[in-house]
Structure 1
Amino acid sequence: MTHGISTYAYFWRISARAPRPMTLTEMFTDTARLGGRVFQICDYTPIESYDAAQLADVRATARDLGLELELGTRGVRPEHLRTYLDMAAELGVTFVRSMLNTVDHRPTPDEAVALLKETVPAYAAAGVTLGLETYEQVSTDDLLTVVRGVDDEHLGVVLDPGNSVARLERPVDVVAATAPYTVNIHVKDFAFTRRDGWVGFTYAGCPLGEGLLDHDGMIAAVREARGERRVNQIVEHWLPWQDEGFEATARLEHQWTQHSINTLLRSK
C-alpha cells in the first residue's frame, strides 16, 4: 500500500481562519518533504475553476515532487462526475473519491445505482476508479447495495470507519463489511472524551494509534480481502480548533500529519 496525504490534513491551514491559506503547491511540497507519495485533492472546490493550463501546472508540480495525484468530490450526478473524469485526465489521476449525498441531492440506493451506471463505464474505459466513502449519512449496507448494484471493478469503497460511528456502526463491522470492496483508505484516528461535568462526550480526532481505530486490523482485513490490488492509505485528521489560536492549531496539525506518515512508514 502506498501512503499519502489529503487536503483534509491541512484543514485549518487552508481555511478562512488562516492568515494566508496554504496553496496546492505548498501542500504538495510539504507532503513530499514529510515522506508522502500520494496527494488527494479532496473537496477542494477551487480546482473546479482551473483551466487547462492551470491543471497542467498542477500535474507538473506534483510530478516534479514525485507525487501521485488523486481527486475527491461529492455526489453521483453524471454531469458532475464527468467533469471530474475530464479533470482526472488532465491531471493524470486514476482514482476519484466521491460520496453519495450533496447538499441538494440525496439519492436512494436504486437511484444512485441508475446514475452511476451512466458514468462508471466511462471511468472504466479511462482506467479511472471511483470510490464511494463510508460516512454517517448513508448506512454501510446501503453503500454496499449501490456498489454491488453497479457491479463494476472500477467502483468501490473508500474506507473511513470513523465516519460511521455517528450512525452507531462499529468500526470493526464497517471494516469487515467493506474490505472486499475497498479501493482507498482514509487514515484518521478518533476517540471519545467526557465533557465537563461528565455531561456527554466529545467525539473527535486524535493522533494515530492513540484512539479507537484498529489500524493494523483494518489494513490486515483489506489486504486479505483485496490481495495484490493496490489500495492507497491517505492521511486525514479531525483536529479540533485549539483555544490558543491559529498558530497552535497549525503546529498541531503538522505534528499529527508527520506522526501519521511516520507510523505508516513503520508499519509497511
Structure 2
Amino acid sequence: MKRRQFIQNTALGFTALSLPEFPLSMASTRMGIVVHSYASRWNSKVQSTKYPGFQNAVDLLEHCHQIGAGGIQVVVKDWSLDFAQKVRDRREKLGLYVEGSIGLPKKPEDVAAFENEVKNAREAGAQILRTVCSGGRRYEVFHSAAAFQDFKKSSLVSLQLAEPILRKYKVKLAVENHKDWRAKELVAALKQINSEWIGATLDFGNNIALLEDPTDVVQALAPYLVSTHIKDMAVEEYAEGFLLSEVPLGKGILDLPKLVGICQQHNPNVTFSLEMITRDPLMIPCLNSDYWATFDGISGAEFAQTLQMVKKNKYALALPRVSQLTPEERLAVEENNILESLKYSKEKLGLK
C-alpha cells in the first residue's frame, strides 16, 4: 500500500469507527483492552498530538473509557499503594474493570516483592492477575527437550511459591498459553498445582504457532478459564513454515462467535480482553528441524492439518506490516485496529 493511500484509508476508517461513550452499566459486558494492544503507544516517546503516549494505567483507563471499552489488563509492576488507590478511584468512577499483569516469583526471596504487587493490584480492584511462565516463544527460547523440561519444573516451583499469596489476598492468577505451553501441557501443570486460585488466561490464537487447532485449544483450557486474550489471526506460507499475524477481529481465520460461546459456557462471568498487537508477521519455522527440538507427541496428522489450514486460508492481501511506516502512521494503524475490533465485538459478539 502506498503511503498516500494508507493515510486516506486510515482517515476514512476513523470516521467510520468513531465510537460514543457508553453508560457505566454496560461496563461488565463490554470487551476490554490488553495493554499489549498499545505496544506502540504505551510509554511512547513519539511527539504526537493525536496519539499521545500512555504513561500509566490511569491514562489507559481514561482512553479505553473514551473509546467504549469495558476495562483494561495492565502491568502492575512497581505500583505504589498511592498509585493503586488512584487507579481504584478512577476505575470506580468510570465503571471499568481492571485486571493485572504480573511476573512470577522464581525463588523464595522473590515472594515478598510478588506479595507487594498482588496487594497493590488488589487495592486497585484487580481480582484477576495474568501471568506468563516464559518471556519468549518456545521454539526460539528452548533448544533441547531437556531445556524445556527444566522450564516446566521451574514454572511449577514459581506457581507453588505464588499460590499462598493468591489465597491470602483472594486474587486469581491466570497463566497464559504464551506460545510456550501446548494446551495439554498447561492443563497438566494446572492439575498438578490443583488450586482454586490458579487457572488460565486463554489466548485464542497463540497456539497456532505450536501447531494446534484454536478450537481444540479453547475447549481444552476453557474448564480452567480465568481471563482471556481475544484476537483474530491470519496466516501465509513462507519458505521455512508459515507467517502468523494478529488482525482486527472478524478479518482472520478464527470462528470467534464459537470460541466466545465456549468460554461463556464454562465461565459466564469471564471478561474478554482484546490483544490486537499491531506488528509485522511472526515467523513460525515449522519446516526447520530446530523448531522441533522441544516437542514430543505432535502427530503427523496435526502437522499436516496446520499446513493445510495455512494453504487454505491465505490472506486476501499480503499480511499487514508496519515496520516501513513512520511512528505516527504506526500509531494510527494501531488505534484503527483496536477501534475496528471493538466495533466487531459489539456488533457480532454481543459484547456491549
- Shorter-chain TM-score bucket reads 0.7 to 0.9
Does structure 1 residue 141 correspond to structure 2 residue 184?
Answer: yes
Q: 1:117-176 CA deviation, whole Å, 9 max, x = no partner?
A: 332233134221110001222222221111111112221111113111221122122111
Corresponding residue of 2:293: none
1:94-113 matched pairs, under 5 angstroms: 94-102=127-135, 108-113=151-156
Shift in Å at residue 49 of structure 1? 2.7
| Preserved contact between residue 190 and residue 206 of structure 1 (Cα < 8 Å) | yes
The correspondence for 1:39, drawn from 69, 72, 89, is 72
Structure 1 counterpart SS, 2:272? strand
Classify 1:153/1:200 alpha carbon distance in 2 versus 1 (closer, same or farther; 3 Å): closer
| Preserved contact between residue 76 and residue 99 of structure 1 (Cα < 8 Å) | no
Corresponding residue of 1:51: 80
CA distance in 2, matches of 1:201, 1:17: 33
CA distance in 2, matches of 1:111, 1:3: 33
1:125-136 matched pairs, under 5 angstroms: 125-136=168-179
1:1-268 matched pairs, under 5 angstroms: 1-14=29-42, 18-19=46-47, 21-24=53-56, 25-42=58-75, 47-77=76-106, 79=111, 81-102=114-135, 108-194=151-237, 201-226=242-267, 228=268, 230-240=269-279, 241-266=322-347, 267-268=349-350
CA distance in 2, matches of 1:146, 1:2: 31
Identity of aligned residues (%): 22
Q: 1:63-115 CA deviation, whole Å, 9 max, x = no partner?
A: 22222211012335362542331222231210000011247997544443344
CA distance in 2, matches of 1:173, 1:41: 28
Q: 1:34-77 CA deviation, whole Å, 9 max, x = no partner?
A: 111211114xxxx5333222222222222222222110123353
| Preserved contact between residue 119 and residue 169 of structure 2 (Cα < 8 Å) | no
Structure 2 counterpart SS, 1:209? coil
CA distance in 2, matches of 1:128, 1:121: 10
Supply the RMSD in Å over aligned alpha carbons.
2.6
Shift in Å at residue 233 of structure 1? 0.4
CA distance in 2, matches of 1:120, 1:141: 21
CA distance in 2, matches of 1:40, 1:185: 10
Classify 1:115/1:201 alpha carbon distance in 2 versus 1 (closer, same or farther; 3 Å): closer
CA distance in 1, matches of 2:30, 2:176: 18
Structure 2 counterpart SS, 1:243? coil
| Preserved contact between residue 5 and residue 38 of structure 1 (Cα < 8 Å) | yes
Classify 1:111/1:246 alpha carbon distance in 2 versus 1 (closer, same or farther; 3 Å): closer
Unaligned runs of 5+ in 2: 1-28, 142-146, 280-321
| AA matched with 2:165 | A
Please identify the structure whose Cα radius of gyration is greater.
Answer: 2
TM-score (norm 1): 0.86
Structure 1 counterpart SS, 2:266? helix
| AA matched with 1:259 | E
Structure 1 counterpart SS, 2:244? strand
The more displaced of 207-216 and 19-28 is: 19-28
| AA matched with 1:225 | H
Shift in Å at residue 185 of structure 1? 1.0
Count, aligned residues: 260
